[in-house]
Structure 1
């Protein structure tokens, strides 16, 4: 993969936006924006592998839509709209009021987001575990080589894999709820959000999959067959469910585990002299840069058929989701260090990449050259 060509557009967008920020708001704002944009690009690199795996299951024109507008719009929508929606639902307030507070009263909004965080983390953990369980129990019954050996192979062959998915996630929700209840003396205000959040995550996942199945029903007989123009709207609906799933994963990784809402004005964008609207504009621009890089990286992985050549990379991406779900459940009981959040995806993907490379073939080639020489 040509890293230079992948970074060209995102870096040009970053440079242009940083220049505008410098002229409009000063050098501190430009540096703050550049730092956040680089962070977004780095985190997008980890998300590109699972995105490419999903793109491989789509067909034109849905694939083109997903790899361009779909990823960018989905990431922006989930990152920017889900927190105000969560605050509005959790606090029984008007959504417009929640959005207004997120922009103009970031400190108050962060406090309200922290109040609904347990329910949101429980929701995300259950939802993301079910996405991971698709790989773990091989719900699509794909032929694949196991990355982690015999246990993984046996789990991929279990009967009724969807039942196993629901059983494992229900166990995770129940165990977490019991531990949280025991930790906080079974206070209803602590236990109910975790239990209801987990149940809502399971419900949202099942609803998303039901919509996807209904959208694919009758599309040339299967989800993987050639798709005619008359069925393209159904494939777009299916692609939208995929964008929702991955957008939720990216949101949970940034906003919940990392503990910082992008428009909160804290952290990287806490530049002196910036008003609420200016900070919000810079945050949205940085998120957009990361989304563009994610779309370009995913498209390049898909075009190069990288996941087929690097046979364990898709498995690594799946295990990133499993670890993320476990970290979300863990964060309801104990604080999760930021370093763990920042590096776990990179480490897992790196191990999957390292085990996918043809080391033995390279060694044989080197030996033959040495003997011939």
Structure 2
């Protein structure tokens, strides 16, 4: 079962890591490995959400999502989107960006270095909004309760996350951006560039969130109609085809899943810029991670179970918050990509360990979720 479900992911991982060593040696191997772990962790909740929706679809639409949908997710978002970001910020064509990265790496690095403040501001704001919206939401399950409880209360204030993000952007523009690195080792005032790019990142987040909400509402409407049809069938005694009902909602489900995939992959792609600017390494690392998202989705659908590691989503979002702040700091200061990667992996690993301890405590308490959560949380708050 495990090999059947994850076989292709294992194969792509091996090929990707070998390609990384051939391309850039063992340092490239480390960068790709970190990007893969980061993408898998950040998209773990994506796989859980996908599985919850996918199991409601008929076999035909499941196959469509797991083939065409994954091709869109892997090649459209993880491979093409990073090139588009570099092309726009460096003001060159996408084909030229790819050509420079292979044939004139020094020139490519110059362009990316000059464009980095814009990339960092755009990505930093997008990731920061993801983190803030998560941390200000009141959740039944909390990991670091001493942080999350008071922030959840503050989150009742409307538009608080947007206000905080804009304040952070202003501070970044007035500090890091006024002494930003430029090619040749000097510094330049990039305040206007950072402000415009940061606002663009904020707008992008709001648009993606709006689209996700729109399709989610459509999906709920279709499910409500399906439920009403089933109730009507019970009253009249008529048989209703389950496949036909799935077919009615399937199109909106598919669109919703694609928008979700796009929004979830944004954080992975943007976060990747905090680790490396090289298109090839980003494509390898994010591509490997995207394959595991597909395998996890299939596994969860086939097993009929959801995620047992309840703090993993928290750890992934804390990693997103850390990457957001690191991106903003890199507007002025250079931070080694391996250090950046390990920060995210460490937070995710910590949340996984906390989840395991919680599950053991839950078993010991005989299913008392609150008691188990409190016991498992003690080391988290130290």
Cα deviation for residue 203 of structure 1 reads: 0.5
Distance 1:111 1:150 in 2: 44
Q: Using the TM superposition, name which of 39-48 and 103-112 deviates more.
A: 39-48
Q: Is 1:198 the equivalent of 2:194? A: no
Q: Which residues in structure 2 correspond to 1:273-292 (within 5 Å)?
A: 288-292=287-291
Is contact 1:177–1:195 with CA below 8 Å preserved after alignment? yes
Give the 3-state SS of the residue equivalent to 1:257 in structure 2.
coil
Q: Using the TM superposition, name which of 220-229 and 230-239 deviates more.
A: 220-229
What is the RMSD computed on CA atoms of the aligned residues? 4.0
Distance 1:184 1:15 in 2: 38
Is contact 1:75–1:247 with CA below 8 Å preserved after alignment? no
Partner of 2:145: 149
Cα deviation for residue 351 of structure 1 reads: 1.8
Q: Which residues in structure 2 correspond to 1:210-229 (within 5 Å)?
A: 210-221=210-221, 228-229=246-247
Partner of 1:321: 320
Q: 2:176 aligns with which of 173, 180, 188?
A: 180
Partner of 1:209: 209
Is contact 1:45–1:297 with CA below 8 Å preserved after alignment? no
Distance 1:317 1:287 in 2: 15
Partner of 2:164: 168
Partner of 2:361: 360
Q: Give the number of equivalent residue pairs.
A: 334
Distance 2:292 2:257 in 1: 19
User: How does the TM-score come out when normalised to structure 2?
Assistant: 0.71
Cα deviation for residue 342 of structure 1 reads: 2.2
Cα deviation for residue 119 of structure 1 reads: 0.6
Distance 1:14 1:239 in 2: 25
Give the 3-state SS of the residue equivalent to 1:116 in structure 2.
helix
Distance 1:63 1:132 in 2: 30
Is contact 1:121–1:328 with CA below 8 Å preserved after alignment? yes
Is contact 1:57–1:224 with CA below 8 Å preserved after alignment? no
Distance 2:146 2:284 in 1: 46
Cα deviation for residue 163 of structure 1 reads: 0.5
Partner of 2:42: 47
Cα deviation for residue 287 of structure 1 reads: 5.4
Partner of 1:126: 125
Q: 1:242 aligns with which of 241, 255, 260?
A: 260
Q: For residues 291-337 of structure 1, give each alpha carbon's deviation from its aligned partner in whole angstroms, at most 9, with x where no partner exists.
A: 32332135435656443x33322222222222221221222232223
Gaps of 5+ in 1: 22-26, 265-282, 366-373
Partner of 2:279: 262
Distance 1:299 1:216 in 2: 21
Q: Using the TM superposition, name which of 291-300 and 310-319 deviates more.
A: 291-300
Give the 3-state SS of the residue equivalent to 2:221 in structure 1.
coil
